[in-house]
Amino acid sequence: MRRALLALAFCLAWVPASAGTAVSFEGEVDYHVLSQGKQDQDVHYLVNGSKIRLDVLSQGHLQSLLMDLTTSKMVMLMPEQKMVVDMAAPDGKDDLKAEAKGKVTRTGKTGEILGKKVEEWLYEGQDGKASIWAVQGMGRFRTAFSKNAWAAAVKAKDLFPLKVVYRDKSGKSDMTMTATRIEEKKPEDRLFQVPADYKKMDATGMLGATQGQ
């Protein structure tokens, strides 16, 4: 259960803009994430209209998050247990707090990642610094955790990061996130639906069980 909650925390850092915001990109983006002192993670990000799916694979275990931006409905899928948990979607208040902690500025550098023209942006905040190579026109990032203040900051710029190198206050590389694949093809509708054989689980109960481990 603890692993499920950690995956959920990571997933929430990727939830796009709030309900009602248009998402122009439809397709799939894969990322590889390296974090200091933690296991590598592979993230599969899918967009189908106003529906988002995030698959996070870590240590051979998969957790998924489904969100509908028009209804703000969000659920977490646990394939190994065949369980689904209803979650409260972030309301954006933490985004405002996180954005206030730092600023994002252009460096003037440009490049190309997976065929996409990207610009480098520099995030500077109370928590650290990040070099962000991003493209415009693929939707926005949103964060629900202060540790991901850089994501909240680029959200305001309407950017979609394809590579991020984050450094903490000491200057040490704390996290590197790199896009490894982009496919601009609408994913199948079934990928954004809860499987019929999944059982519902109460999120409060899950939290209690995790704290007791």
Least reliable range by pLDDT among 53-57, 102-106, 143-147: 143-147
Least reliable range by pLDDT among 50-54, 125-129, 190-194: 125-129
Confidence of residue 151 (pLDDT cuts 50, 70, 90): confident
pLDDT for position 131: 94
The pair of three-digit structure tokens given for residue 68, joined into one six-digit string:
């509908």
pLDDT for position 163: 94
For 203-208, which contacts have Cβ atoms below 8 Å and span 24 or more sequence positions? 203/85, 203/86, 203/87, 206/1, 206/4, 206/5, 206/85, 207/5
Confidence of residue 17 (pLDDT cuts 50, 70, 90): very low
Rounded CA separation 202/186 (Å): 32
More reliable by pLDDT, 36 or 96: 36
